[in-house]
A and B are shown apart, each in its own frame.
Chain A
Amino acid sequence: MTKSDWPLWEVFIRSKQGLDHKHAGSLHAADAQMAIENARDVYTRRMEGISIWVVESKYIHASNPSEGSSFYDPANDKAYRHPTFYKLPDELENM
């Protein structure tokens, strides 16, 4: 069992008040169960959270930063895409 055999996992933690899991860091583990326990030991020591997701890093696909300008800049000046041009009826309380 050499360390290089243990895949890298990304850890996502949801806090008590939170609705979404936030990326907390990464760690090495031999399998998913061990990854979750390691995440519990490393990333929830100070009551950071109550739920853990782990994903092997190789399954995370990320956008390419160098493509950032073509991916994201065009959205900057298109105000008509924001849903702010109509009035909601008062009866819709939680929209």
Chain B
Amino acid sequence: MKEQVKEAKIRKAETERLRTIYFLLKMQVNLSIYQPINFLLSQADNSLILGHRNSEWTGHGPILEQDIALSNIALDLVGQARNFYQYAASVANNAGHSHGQVTEDSLAYLRDAWDFKNCLLVEQPNGDWAKTILRQFLFSLYQFYLYEQLRYSKDEMVAAISEKALKEVTYHVKWSSEWVIRLGDGTEESHTRMINALDELWKFTDELFIPAAFEMEAAGNGIGTDVAALKSKWFAKVIEIFEEATMPITNLSNKQWAGLFGKDGNHSEHLGYILAEMQFLQRTYPGCEW
């Protein structure tokens, strides 16, 4: 009798698991046409992918305190991602597209690379400390001016998330800009590494300020903001920091990325590897819990 009860329980769990997988797979196709979620997903994806990239440094930092600092930043970013994913999930579920099955986990762990809306900058490999620092600086500065505007979003939730995130990002900008200065205006080696980092990363900065369709729609609704309008303040601050870091401020490579953009789902090969590592556990054991 005990054996039969046990069998029944196992079979029931199996059925639940299969049902969840089925709904979640179905949901992936439906979501990508839902514009309001795309705006939220884009913010979340940016933070999640960069948070994941930074977490790759954990245990490998050049010195203990900086290992902790970057890990803290990774945690901040993943926290921001969670806030946006949770809200996106509730919007999706309330809109009735998804059989009530969308969760922050399914959004983060069960979408494929072409459904991710992060920019190309955040998926770039960490490289050395200089490249990681520069990537953080360029992106956090963008987030700073972005959240500064999104605080006034007509959507209360977006405004609340942005208000909280702005405090975290203010510190990220302080921390990373100081490192840019330390390394840029440091030794010959650190300066060279910063120049190389700049050569590799600058081409991905334009994308931040070219609005995707869902960003234009969100801005039109008062939920988002015009990202193109953020560029001049961002650029001015970059120049200010680069000057102090003795880094080049003229002839910053005009060669911007000429391909398609990450925000539209066209990613570099890097994202595939990132997701393979990040999503492996949830995809192998769907619905698993600690």
Question: A interface vs B, CB < 8 Å?
Answer: 1, 3, 6, 27-30, 33-34, 37-38, 40-42, 45
Distance in angstroms from A42 CB to nearest chain B CB is: 5
Rounded to whole angstroms, the CA-CA distance of A28 and B72 in the bound complex is 18
Q: List 20 A-B contacts (CB under 8 A).
A: A6-B63, A27-B64, A28-B64, A28-B65, A30-B182, A33-B178, A34-B178, A37-B174, A37-B175, A38-B65, A38-B66, A38-B69, A40-B171, A41-B65, A41-B68, A42-B64, A42-B65, A42-B68, A45-B68, A45-B72
Residues of A within 8 A of B182 (CB): 30
Q: What per-residue 1/0 map shows which CB atoms of B54-70 lie under 8 Å from chain A?
A: 00000000011110110
Which residue on A lies nearest to B73, using beta carbons?
A41
Distance in angstroms from B187 CB to nearest chain A CB is: 7
Rounded to whole angstroms, the CA-CA distance of A76 and B182 in the bound complex is 53
Pick the contact of B63: A3, A33, A40, A45 (CB < 8 A): A3
Contact A28 B63 (CB under 8 A): yes
At the interface, yes or no: B126 with Cβ under 8 Å from chain A? no
Besides A28-B65, A40-B171, 14 new A-B residue pairs in contact (Cβ under 8 A), listed by A number? A1-B186, A1-B187, A6-B63, A27-B64, A27-B65, A28-B64, A29-B65, A30-B182, A34-B178, A37-B175, A38-B69, A41-B69, A42-B64, A45-B68
Rounded to whole angstroms, the CA-CA distance of A34 and B178 in the bound complex is 9
The dominant DSSP class at the B interface is helix
Residues of B within 8 A of A34 (CB): 178
Contact B178 A1 (CB under 8 A): no
Residues of A within 8 A of B178 (CB): 33-34, 37
Which residue on B lies nearest to A27, using beta carbons?
B65
At the interface, yes or no: B192 with Cβ under 8 Å from chain A? no
Residues of A within 8 A of B174 (CB): 37
Q: Check A37/B63 contact, CB under 8 A, given A1-B186, A1-B187, A1-B190.
A: no
Which residue on A lies nearest to B183, using beta carbons?
A1
Distance in angstroms from B286 CB to nearest chain A CB is: 32
Within 8 A of A (CB), among B169-192: 171, 174-175, 178, 182, 186-187, 190
Rounded to whole angstroms, the CA-CA distance of A38 and B16 in the bound complex is 47
Which residue on B lies nearest to A39, using beta carbons?
B65
Residues of B within 8 A of A45 (CB): 68, 72
Residues of A within 8 A of B69 (CB): 37-38, 41
Residues of B within 8 A of A33 (CB): 178
Distance in angstroms from B186 CB to nearest chain A CB is: 7
Distance in angstroms from B169 CB to nearest chain A CB is: 15
Rounded to whole angstroms, the CA-CA distance of A40 and B72 in the bound complex is 10
Distance in angstroms from A50 CB to nearest chain B CB is: 14
Rounded to whole angstroms, the CA-CA distance of A45 and B75 in the bound complex is 11
Within 8 A of A (CB), among B151-207: 171, 174-175, 178, 182, 186-187, 190
Which residue on B lies nearest to A45, using beta carbons?
B72
Scoring A6, A30, A34 by chain B CB atoms within 10 A of each residue's CB, the highest score goes to: A34
Rounded to whole angstroms, the CA-CA distance of A43 and B51 in the bound complex is 21
Distance in angstroms from A28 CB to nearest chain B CB is: 7
Q: What per-residue 1/0 map shows which CB atoms of B27-66 lie under 8 Å from chain A?
A: 0000000000000000000000000000000000001111
Rounded to whole angstroms, the CA-CA distance of A45 and B178 in the bound complex is 20
Residues of A within 8 A of B65 (CB): 27-29, 38, 41-42
Within 8 A of A (CB), among B76-130: none
